[in-house]
Amino acid sequence: NMVFLWLVGCVLELGFGRLSYIIIYLLGGVFAVETFYYFNMTSNTPLIGASGAISGLMGAYAVAYGRTKINVFYSLGFYFNYTRVYAILLLPLWLANELFQLFYLTDSNVAYLAHIGGLVGGAFLGFINVKVFRKADHEVFEEDPKNNIVPLMEKALQKIEALDMKEAKVLLNEVLALNGNHKEAIKNLYNIEKLQPSSEEYQKIAIKRMLSLSKEANSEKELMDTYKDYCQLSKKQRIPAGMLLHLCRVFVRAGRFSEAENIIENVLSSAPNNPLLPQVLLETAKSNAQNGRNENSIRLLRILRESFPQTPEAEIAAKMIS
């Protein structure tokens, strides 16, 4: 009872809403009790349990989601499996099962008539709920495409181990189509595309890899190494100016000033009007000065004054030079 209440009840509560779910549960129990009473008016046997009300939920479920295919477990004793069937087909199967037990298990203490009443009553309530109140959210059955990511990644890693890079690329791209920021997929696809650095695919995934690393904590060394590899492998560099300036700051924090200044020169020639340039120039100049690189600091401050004379950073640069 509790298993069916949880399995069916969760779907109906999400699909119908909490109030409708409770009403169907209670009225399903009433249908179950009244059906049993109608055929056993002279019985003095007490009727207890929630199975009649749960049967009502099962009937409502079968009717409300009748056209939805659901997974059903079956067993033939020596063989068992899952299959997908329309939910409405479960209603006659459940009824047939209850009728069979009612007529052939005559010594049982189970109130099969209550189950039958609950199933029929619940089916009626489910029909009313769908046709009159228009409540049956079918999205509760829709699978989240992201659930496919784990098996896709496992297959991709297996292909990489087997050195089947072509198929691995297909699988990794499928993962990224579902989650464009999947770190492991980006990393593995980058390592594959790095084998052909002249390709367009390498350009795209290299930039994506650096963007991904820039958002991760404690990944600055890996980011700098990736950029260094990119500079060595790629003849045509297409990193956006904003990303380059972020890289510049990373190199400055690491004390790798020469590489940081090379990036600044790159941006000055390729995107001289980038609004972040004055700030990055000033930050880099200050860091140079703090580390005893006074000549480099003054050179950067002069570039800042000459290239961006109207900015607040240029005013600060003028004071620092004087």
Taking only the tens place, the pLDDT of each residue in 81-138 is 666 667 677 778 778 888 888 887 777 778 878 888 888 888 888 888 877 766 665 5
**pLDDT over 80 (residue 8):** no
Report pLDDT digits (tens) over 305-319: 999 999 999 999 999
Across 134-161, average pLDDT: 75
Is the pLDDT assigned to residue 78 strictly greater than 80? Answer: no
- The predicted pLDDT at position 131 comes to 79
pLDDT given at position 88: 74
pLDDT of residue 211: 92
Quote the tokens at residue 144. 């989240």
Tell me the CATH number of domain 143-239, given options 1.10.3720.10, 3.40.50.2000, 1.10.10.10, 1.25.40.10: 1.25.40.10
143-239 shares its CATH topology with 240-322: yes
Query: For the chain, what is the mean pLDDT?
Result: 85
Q: What pLDDT is attached to residue 107?
A: 75
Q: What is the pLDDT of residues 237-284, one digit of tens each?
A: 889 999 999 999 999 999 999 999 999 999 999 999 999 999 999 999
**pTM exceeding the 0.85 threshold for the entire prediction:** no
* Residue range 180-192: mean pLDDT, rounded: 94
Return the top range by mean pLDDT from 40-54, 95-109, 131-145, 210-224: 210-224
**Domain range annotation of the chain:** 2-141, 143-239, 240-322
Domain covering 240-322, topology: 1.25.40
